[in-house]
Amino acid sequence: MNVLIRLTKSTLAYPGAEKSLITPQLVFNDPTTLPVISTFRILSPTGALVDNNHSLTITSEKIVDLYKHMVTLHTLDTIMYDAQRQGRLSFYMTSSGEEAVSVASGAILEKHDQIFAQYREQGAFLARGLSVQDIMNQLYANSNDHGKGRNMPIHHVNKAINLHPISSPLATQIPHAVGAAYALKLTKPNQACSICYVGEGACSEGDFHAGLNIAATRECPVIFFVRNNGYAISTASKEQYKGDGIASRGPGYGIVTIRIDGNDLLAVYEATKAARDLAVKENRPVLIEAMTYRRSHHSTSDDSFAYRSKHEVDAWKRHDNPISRIRKYMQRPDINIWSDELEEKFRKATKKDILKCLQIAERTKKPPLSEIFTDVYFDNGGKELQPHLKEQKEELDEILAQYRSWYHLEDYKA
């Protein structure tokens, strides 16, 4: 009976596609004929509201606060890029052109939310409460680094703000973010979510697809935040994918999706805040594709002018700078929450503070060399090193005793 009824329906009833309409027409779904996903924007590059009737959900005080984080991030990047070029730092990655993306998205997170970042989210960490000194300690891998000096620069970890360890390999944090979201769903229902930051290049990895699929089927409160900045190191986005960006992939996995202007601080803030509400209240994953442009080299190990023109970069800097955009809005006569005088005063104080933090981090000793063997494998209830680690430690002790002057041991604690 049920089988006969099912076969006469106008919609397909097979388990894999129960809502599909029946049609006698042989028609392929051609992606080139589908409408392009629109991009949510509140502020134009000139600092004007796209819709004058739009009611902002962010206060003037919060806008100023986030703007200060953006300026701090940009100043930090400028100083640390130069420090690396001077040989004072081994490696660095800037966020030039992407300040609004990380700062605004990080600002909406709450106490129990879990952060799984890539390596261009220092703005989010600042917005969550990480200090410039915390960042400097990590960059210099000193004894005050929350990661105990074990990871390369920019690869932060901080339990206080629920920032999980950053890993260089692309997309490895995606399954972890989904797993954490599932755990939050079970232990803190409708209270918290996880946010996973990736670039468009990482979305070509298998973990991206596996992560989205499991998040959708298990109904996990997770925000997939994709920074589409045009380049995955030297691979341009047009060489990275053929379809309509990354946002078009969300609906295919049954995930609510939005594309936003990543250079618009207000749009990023409102969209991510709404995404968090949706994820937490309804236990649903959300995909955000933030469109932006990476003005910087990929890292201090990269020369981006080998694959793009300086004119292209300069054009983006002049015509669509996220810091300039929000500043133009703040200094409009009808808004008037910022001024040239405040700008000069804040930038001067910020630069002074960052340079002071840099000097402190440089002077702070490295962690004890004995830390190499801790937090790995232990026997006897975590009290004793395993035999192979004991052997390695003894060998290191012998080498250091014989060649002590070669290793600058005075730079390390104990």
In a domain, 33, yes or no: no
Task: Specify whether 247 is located in the same domain as 343.
Answer: yes
Task: Specify whether 182 is located in the same domain as 319.
Answer: yes
Task: Specify whether 120 is located in the same domain as 149.
Answer: yes
Indicate the number of domains in the chain: 2
Strand partners, 257: 287
Q: What is the pLDDT of residue 223?
A: 99
* Placement of tokens 């100043």 in the chain: 75
The mean predicted confidence, pLDDT, of the chain is 95
CA atoms within 13 A on the CB side of 15: 0
CATH of the domain at 197: 3.40.50.970
In a domain, 34, yes or no: no
Check whether 367 has a pLDDT greater than 80.
yes
Q: How far is CA 162 from CA 124, 251, 316, in A?
A: 12, 29, 34
Task: Specify whether 300 is located in the same domain as 388.
Answer: no
What average pLDDT score do residues 337-363 get?
A: 99
Task: Specify whether 340 is located in the same domain as 402.
Answer: no
pLDDT one-digit tens code per residue, 170-182: 999 999 999 999 9
In a domain, 8, yes or no: no
pLDDT one-digit tens code per residue, 71-85: 999 999 999 999 999
Task: Specify whether 296 is located in the same domain as 205.
Answer: yes
Q: Work out the pLDDT band at 6, boundaries 50, 70, 90.
A: low
The continuous run of DSSP H or E covering 335 comes out as none
Helix ranges (H only) for 90-236 are 99-107, 122-127, 132-139, 173-187, 206-217
In angstroms, the CA 261 to CA 44 distance is 9
Task: Specify whether 343 is located in the same domain as 400.
Answer: no
In a domain, 150, yes or no: yes
Q: List phi, psi (to 5°) of 399.
A: -65, -45
pLDDT one-digit tens code per residue, 313-343: 999 999 999 999 999 999 999 999 999 999 9
pLDDT one-digit tens code per residue, 146-201: 999 999 999 999 999 999 999 999 999 999 999 999 999 999 999 999 999 999 99
pTM of the model: 0.94
pLDDT one-digit tens code per residue, 200-223: 999 999 999 999 999 999 999 999
Q: What is the pLDDT of residue 261?
A: 99
Task: Specify whether 375 is located in the same domain as 359.
Answer: no
| Domain of residue 298, residue span | 60-363
In a domain, 24, yes or no: no
Task: Specify whether 298 is located in the same domain as 378.
Answer: no
Check whether 248 has a pLDDT greater than 50.
yes
Task: Specify whether 262 is located in the same domain as 381.
Answer: no
What's the DSSP call for residue 188? S
Task: Specify whether 235 is located in the same domain as 86.
Answer: yes
Task: Specify whether 111 is located in the same domain as 177.
Answer: yes
Give first-to-last CA distance, the chain, whole Å.
80
